[in-house]
Amino acid sequence: MLAAERASADARISAPLLPGLGAHGSRGRLDPDKVPWRAVGKLRTQHNFPPETLHFLVGYDGSRYAGHATGVRLETGPSYDSSRPSETRGSDWALVTLDTKLGLADRVLPMIGELPQIGSAIMLGGYQQDHPLILMADTECRIVGRATDGTGRVLLRRNCTGTSGDSGAPLLIEKGGKWYTAGINVAAELGVASGLAVLLNEARRHL
């Protein structure tokens, strides 16, 4: 083996294996000012997550952002138990009420009103662990199945490429020429482009 080939192989072996990334990732950098990504922002937090420490930046692109708001109220899934995260994953969501509106209607992604069908085309994007300052997304993935947590709550299984930092990111689905949130990303599997998303029926009742 040539020295260059050996170095390349060693780099692949020593590189950290992040969950949700397969051997051939399909993520790409996106413009946070384009629809539907105009509605996706970066949430900055501090310890203990009191609402006033939650800072939401919309249109964030490394050194600039289109708008900033601070949390004033935080609601979480009533059945989620942090000591049993896998068993209660179907209630792993949070709603943050912001102190100001951040622009026009195209910065809002409504929740879809029905259960998305298996095979539906979706997109998943956010500010991920290996690219924390850049909006990265898989725009060509699908809902490939359903699962349930330990309490019987339904989850969506997706085959999008996305890793740590995408927790809380929306699964985007298009219907009738309009973009909706089909679910909220909550988990990624190790070594493959696969993970789970929470349905929003429970969260919708708290709006």
The full set of domain ranges for the chain reads 37-106, 109-204
CATH topology for 109-204 is Thrombin, subunit H (2.40.10)
First to last CA, the chain: 60
Nearest Cα to 200, choosing from 153, 164, 132? 153
> What does pTM read for this prediction?
0.85
**How far is Cα 73 from Cα 97, in angstroms, rounded to an integer?**
5
Give the pLDDT confidence of 35-45 residue by residue, as tens digits.
999 999 998 77
Residue-level pLDDT at 130: 86
Give the pLDDT confidence of 27-76 residue by residue, as tens digits.
899 999 999 999 999 987 755 678 898 999 999 998 899 999 999 999 99
Residue-level pLDDT at 165: 81
